[in-house]
């Protein structure tokens, strides 16, 4: 029997071993898309969410070789909001060995128990924009760059460790160049006229940070109470996200609807499909990864439907039909053929919109697991 050793990540060398471990674990796996190493280091060490989160990282070693990793997180805002005492686990990867998986989970759970926590769930990250959800269906599919990939044995390991399903996210893939159903088009036209809705000038919007603050305010209000485990962004997190995404968005793939008060009524944000480019980049934009990324940003054949939503006062009024119609027309003009939807909780009525499309399929299913801390 092998003697595995757990080690807390306390220095830069071990941090990079922690970050790069999946690249070795999934070497040769065509479906795996590496995260950018520099971006992962920034998130783990300098995320604005660390103002209200505790976190620790560990690796498991077999001799000098890394065979597993995990990050334990306690998000105080989450626990206060939902009245729980939960710790999150994320950045969870392991070889197919129950002893390695047990050592990782129990180490994170023990740390959390010392801080008064009584449940552990994941994989999650600090907030909703982080990679989350363990893949349980679609192992033969390439996931969007913003999403996790894992081997099929992960779910078996979780069940052996006493975890149960907390929730599932599902993702559809559909033909983006198909005609929007006529009924939806008629609804969209009536709503635009009735409420005097208008499409924001995205180029002008990008020039003023305050516009993005309005967007994230609408995002917080749209998802709060409607999305399982959602935690509204703090002002610091919003500023961080503005700095990350503002220059990367393309008006041909995005739609922000404004109402008579010049407030965000609804939004849909899409990005080019970066997965193949990031596979070639192998975790770094230098020296040649930037070339693949730049090339992918101008290829709209397949796109990633990142986020969509509506401000509370516009929900349940059919406004999603408006930006679906507008974006469908933008996709048609931009030559988009395929779109993969962002992960959506299976119990959220918003997923029903994809049922109205003909050429679509359930692409991926990912799970949040939960267990009592023993």
Give residue-wise pLDDT tens across range 72-81.
999 999 999 9
Which 8-state DSSP code applies to residue 349? G
pLDDT over 70 at 354, yes or no? no
| Same domain? 249 vs 146 | no
| Same domain? 265 vs 137 | no
What is the pLDDT at residue 351? 63
Which among 113, 139, 168 is the end of a domain? 168
pLDDT over 80 at 294, yes or no? yes
Q: 102 with 329: CB under 8 angstroms?
A: no
| Same domain? 235 vs 159 | no
Using one digit for the tens of pLDDT, what is the confidence trace for 95-135? 999 999 999 999 999 999 999 999 999 999 998 888 899 99
Mode of pairing for the β-strands spanning 164-175 and 338-341: antiparallel
| Same domain? 211 vs 244 | yes
Alpha helices in the chain (DSSP H): 12-25, 37-46, 76-82, 98-114, 153-160, 182-195, 202-206, 209-223, 235-245, 275-281, 289-297, 320-334
| Same domain? 46 vs 185 | no
Write down the pTM of the prediction.
0.92
Query: Which domain CATH number covers 151?
Result: 3.40.630.30
| Same domain? 326 vs 262 | yes
| Same domain? 134 vs 217 | no
What is the pLDDT at residue 223? 86
Average pLDDT estimate for 221-243: 89
| Same domain? 214 vs 340 | yes
Which among 168, 193, 218 is the end of a domain? 168
Expressed as residue numbers, the domain containing 319 is: 174-367
pLDDT over 80 at 87, yes or no? yes
| Same domain? 80 vs 180 | no
158/150 Cα distance (integer angstroms) = 13
Number of domains observed in the structure of the chain = 2
Could you tell me the pLDDT band of residue 350, with boundaries at 50, 70 and 90? low
Average pLDDT estimate for 179-194: 83
Average pLDDT estimate for 3-18: 97
Least confident residue range of 7-16, 43-52, 113-122, 301-310: 301-310
| Same domain? 332 vs 197 | yes
What is the pLDDT at residue 286? 84
| Same domain? 88 vs 56 | yes
Examine residue 374 and state whether it is found in any structural domain, yes or no: no
Dihedral sign from CA coordinates of 237, 242, 248, 254: positive
| Same domain? 189 vs 223 | yes
pLDDT over 90 at 194, yes or no? no
Could you tell me the pLDDT band of residue 92, with boundaries at 50, 70 and 90? very high
Which among 168, 198, 230 is the end of a domain? 168
320/187 Cα distance (integer angstroms) = 10
Could you tell me the pLDDT band of residue 136, with boundaries at 50, 70 and 90? very high
What is the pLDDT at residue 45? 97
Could you tell me the pLDDT band of residue 329, with boundaries at 50, 70 and 90? confident
């Amino acid at each position: 029997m092998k003697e595995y050793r757990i080690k807390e990540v306390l220095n830069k060398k071990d941090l990079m071993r922690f970050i790069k471990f999946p690249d070795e674990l999934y070497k040769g796996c065509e479906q795996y898309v590496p995260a950018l190493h520099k971006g992962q280091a920034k998130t783990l060490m300098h995320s604005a969410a660390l103002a209200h989160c505790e976190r620790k990282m560990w690796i498991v070693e077999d001799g000098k070789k890394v065979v597993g990793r995990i990050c334990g997180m306690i998000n105080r805002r989450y626990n206060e909001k939902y009245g729980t005492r939960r710790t999150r686990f994320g950045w969870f990867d392991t070889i197919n060995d129950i002893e390695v998986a047990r050592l990782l989970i129990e180490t994170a759970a023990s740390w959390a128990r010392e801080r008064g926590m009584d449940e552990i769930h994941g994989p999650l990250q600090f907030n909703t924009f982080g990679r989350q959800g363990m893949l349980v269906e679609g192992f033969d599919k390439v996931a969007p760059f913003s999403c996790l990939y894992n081997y099929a044995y992960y779910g078996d390991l979780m069940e052996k460790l006493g975890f149960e399903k907390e929730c599932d996210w599902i993702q559809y893939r559909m033909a983006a160049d198909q005609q929007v159903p006529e009924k939806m088009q008629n609804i969209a036209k009536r709503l635009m006229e009735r409420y005097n809705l208008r499409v924001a000038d995205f180029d002008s919007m990008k020039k003023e940070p305050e516009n993005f603050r309005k967007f994230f305010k609408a995002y917080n209000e749209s998802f709060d109470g409607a999305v399982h485990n959602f935690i509204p962004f703090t002002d610091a997190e919003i500023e961080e996200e503005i700095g990350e995404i503002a220059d990367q968005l393309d008006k041909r793939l995005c739609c922000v609807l404004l109402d008579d008060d010049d407030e965000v009524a609804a939004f849909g944000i899409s990005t080019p499909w970066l997965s193949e480019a990031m596979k070639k980049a192998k975790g770094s934009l230098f020296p040649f990864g930037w070339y693949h990324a730049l090339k992918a940003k101008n290829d709209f054949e397949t796109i990633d439907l990142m986020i969509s939503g509506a401000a509370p006062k516009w929900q349940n009024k059919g406004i999603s039909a408006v930006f679906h119609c507008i974006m469908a027309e933008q996709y048609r003009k931009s030559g988009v053929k395929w779109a993969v939807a962002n992960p959506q909780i299976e119990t959220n009525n918003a997923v029903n919109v994809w049922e109205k499309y003909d050429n679509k399929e359930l692409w991926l299913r990912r799970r949040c697991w939960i267990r009592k801390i023993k």
